[in-house]
């Protein structure tokens, strides 16, 4: 198939998430195919500094903070050497059980990179 190839960058250094992302790449649609970007970038933010009373709001706020950091890292003005992905995925996840926040699970937010 010839056509557009969409480069998808995962903002995570987790081998587990990288494996999930590789498996989740959709099959080619019409003339568009998706490839996982060869570089994985950890957004390296202080997740403990991002807190909300509502767990759903908190996971979204952390994912947004990760996306903001990734876009900063990808900005050519900041010495970008990460390439130019078409789509960046930032993620955060939590487990809430019996009203107690335990650890990480899975939630994704997507944002296209301008340019």
| Closest C-alpha to 91, from 110, 112, 108 | 108
> pTM for the complete prediction?
0.72
Q: Which of 62, 61, 67, 59 is nearest to 101 (CA)?
A: 59
- 70-88 pLDDT tens trace: 888 888 777 766 778 888 8
Give me the pLDDT at residue 80, please: 61
List per-residue pLDDT tens for the chain, 115 residues long. Answer: 567 888 888 888 788 888 888 888 877 777 788 888 877 788 888 888 888 888 888 888 888 898 899 888 888 777 766 778 888 888 777 777 787 776 554 444 444 444 4
- Kindly tell me the sign of the dihedral angle through the C-alpha atoms of 8, 13, 18, 21: negative
User: Under the phi-then-psi rule, with left for phi > 0, alpha for psi from -120 to 50, and beta for the rest, what region is 69?
Assistant: alpha
């Amino acid at each position: 198939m010839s056509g557009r190839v969409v480069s998808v960058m995962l903002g995570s250094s987790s081998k587990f998430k990288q494996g999930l992302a590789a498996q989740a790449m959709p099959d080619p649609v019409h003339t568009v195919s998706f490839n996982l970007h060869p570089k994985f970038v950890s957004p390296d933010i202080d997740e403990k500094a991002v807190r909300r009373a509502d767990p759903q709001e908190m996971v979204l706020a952390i994912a947004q903070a990760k996306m903001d950091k990734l876009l900063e890292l990808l900005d050519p003005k900041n010495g970008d050497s990460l390439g130019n992905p078409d789509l960046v995925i930032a993620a955060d996840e939590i487990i809430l059980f019996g009203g107690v926040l335990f650890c990480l699970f899975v939630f994704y937010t997507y944002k296209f990179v301008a340019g």
